[in-house]
Structure 1
Amino acid sequence: MNMLSFGYILLSFAILIFVNLSLIKKRDPDKSTKTNKKQPVLNEPVLLDSSLTTPSSSVVPTKPTTTEEFNKFRILTVLMLGAFVSILNQTLDNVAIPHMMLDFNVSANTIQWIVTGYMLVNGVFIPITAFLMETFGSRKLVLVAMSSFTIGSLICSIAPSFAVFMIGRIIQGLGAGILMPLLTNVFLSIFPPYQRGKAMGTMGIVMVFAPAIGPTLGGWVVQTYSWRLLFSSLVPIGILDLILAVAWMKDVLELTFPKFDLWGAIFSTIGLSSLLYGVSEAGNIGWGSTEVIIFLAVGILSILLFVRRELTVDMPLLELKVYKYKIYSLTIIINAVVTTVMYAAMMLLPIYLQSIRGFTPLQSGFLLLPGALLMGIMGPIAGAIFDRIGLRVLAVVGLMITAAASWEFTKLTADTMYSDILMMYTIRSLGVSLIMMPLMTAGLNQLPRKLNSHGTAMFNTMRQVAGSLGTAMLVTIMSTRTNVHLATYTSVITASNPTMLDQFGALVQGLALPAQTGQVVALQEVYGLASQQAFINGINDSFIVATGLAILGLIPALFIRRVIPPKSNSVP
Structure 2
Amino acid sequence: MDASVSASATASQNPEKTYKVVPILVAFLISGFIGLFSETALNIAISDLIQIFNTNAATIQWLTTGYLLTLGILVPVSGLLLQWFTTRQLFITSLCLSIVGTFIAAIAPSFEVLMVARVFQAMGTALLLPLMFNTILLIFPAEKRGAAMGMIGLVIMFAPAVGPTISGLVLENLTWHWIFWLSLPFLVIGLIAGILYMENVTEVTKPKIDILSVILSTLGFGGVVFGFSSAGEGEGGWSSPKVIAFIIIGAVSLILFSIRQLKMEKPMINLRAFRYPMFTLAVILVFICMMVMLSSMLLLPLYLQGGLVLTAFAAGLILLPGGVLNGLLSPVMGRLFDKYGPKWLVIPGLVIVAIDLWLFSGLTTTSTTGFIIALHILLMIGISMVMMPAQTNGLNQLPKEYYPDGTAIMNTLQQVSGAIGTAIGVSIMSAGQHDYLSKVDNPQDPAHIPAALTAGIQDGFLFALGAAIIALIIAFFIKRVKVDY
- TM-score higher than 0.5 here? yes
The one-character-per-residue Cα deviations of 1:382-421 (angstroms, maximum 9, x if unpaired) are 1111112211221111111112112222222222211111
Report how far residue 223 of structure 1 moved. Answer: 2.3
- Provide the rounded CA distance (Å) in 2 between the counterparts of 1:257 and 1:384: 36
Report how far residue 116 of structure 1 moved. Answer: 4.2
Distance 1:379 1:270, change over 3 A: same
User: Which position in structure 1 is the counterpart of 2:281?
Assistant: 330
- Alignment partner of 1:243 out of 189, 192, 199: 192
8 Å Cα contact 2:341-2:480 kept in structure 1:
yes
User: Which position in structure 1 is the counterpart of 2:221?
Assistant: 272
- Provide the rounded CA distance (Å) in 1 between the counterparts of 2:229 and 2:78: 26
Report how far residue 226 of structure 1 moved. Answer: 2.5
- Provide the rounded CA distance (Å) in 1 between the counterparts of 2:203 and 2:216: 27
1:562 aligns with 2:474: no
The one-character-per-residue Cα deviations of 1:67-103 (angstroms, maximum 9, x if unpaired) are 34x4211111112211111122222223323333433
- Provide the rounded CA distance (Å) in 2 between the counterparts of 1:115 and 1:401: 30
Distance 1:43 1:239, change over 3 A: closer
Identify which range, 87-96 or 330-339, moves more after superposition: 87-96
1:542 aligns with 2:463: no
Give TM-score scaled by structure 1 length.
0.80
The structure number with the bigger radius of gyration is 1
User: Which position in structure 2 is the counterpart of 1:72?
Assistant: 21
1:385 aligns with 2:353: no
- Provide the rounded CA distance (Å) in 1 between the counterparts of 2:301 and 2:474: 31
- Provide the rounded CA distance (Å) in 2 between the counterparts of 1:97 and 1:536: 21
User: Which position in structure 2 is the counterpart of 1:532?
Assistant: 450
8 Å Cα contact 1:64-1:254 kept in structure 2:
no
1:291 aligns with 2:242: yes
8 Å Cα contact 2:69-2:226 kept in structure 1:
no
Which residues in structure 2 correspond to 1:166-205 (within 5 Å)? 166-205=115-154
8 Å Cα contact 2:103-2:184 kept in structure 1:
yes
- Provide the rounded CA distance (Å) in 2 between the counterparts of 1:112 and 1:425: 25
1:207 aligns with 2:156: yes
User: Which position in structure 2 is the counterpart of 1:448?
Assistant: 399
8 Å Cα contact 1:94-1:350 kept in structure 2:
no
The one-character-per-residue Cα deviations of 1:189-231 (angstroms, maximum 9, x if unpaired) are 1111111111211221112222222222222112222322212
RMSD between aligned alpha carbons? 2.2
The one-character-per-residue Cα deviations of 1:33-78 (angstroms, maximum 9, x if unpaired) are xxxxxx413499xxxxxxxxxxxxxxxxxx579634x421111111
Which residues in structure 2 correspond to 1:10-89 (within 5 Å)? 24-25=1-2, 30=6, 39-42=7-10, 67-68=17-18, 70-89=19-38
User: Which position in structure 2 is the counterpart of 1:351?
Assistant: 302
Distance 1:116 1:553, change over 3 A: farther
Distance 1:421 1:110, change over 3 A: farther
Q: Which amino acid counterpart does residue 2 of structure 2 have in structure 1?
A: K
Distance 1:123 1:289, change over 3 A: closer
The one-character-per-residue Cα deviations of 1:219-276 (angstroms, maximum 9, x if unpaired) are 2112222322212222222222222222222212121111122221211211222223
User: Which position in structure 2 is the counterpart of 1:11?
Assistant: none
8 Å Cα contact 2:105-2:180 kept in structure 1:
yes
- Provide the rounded CA distance (Å) in 2 between the counterparts of 1:451 and 1:122: 21
Distance 1:401 1:116, change over 3 A: farther
Distance 1:480 1:102, change over 3 A: farther
Distance 1:534 1:317, change over 3 A: same
SS in 1 for 2:206: coil
- Provide the rounded CA distance (Å) in 2 between the counterparts of 1:231 and 1:487: 43
When the two structures are aligned, how many residues end up with a matched partner? 483
Distance 1:135 1:207, change over 3 A: same
Residue segments in structure 1 that go unaligned for 5+ positions in a row: 1-23, 31-38, 45-62, 495-523
The one-character-per-residue Cα deviations of 1:481-524 (angstroms, maximum 9, x if unpaired) are 323333333xx329xxxxxxxxxxxxxxxxxxxxxxxxxxxxx6
User: Which position in structure 1 is the counterpart of 2:43?
Assistant: 94
- Provide the rounded CA distance (Å) in 1 between the counterparts of 2:5 and 2:228: 49
8 Å Cα contact 2:330-2:384 kept in structure 1:
yes
Give TM-score scaled by structure 2 length.
0.93
Report how far residue 144 of structure 1 moved. Answer: 0.7
Q: Which amino acid counterpart does residue 233 of structure 1 have in structure 2?
A: L
Identify which range, 154-163 or 457-466, moves more after superposition: 154-163
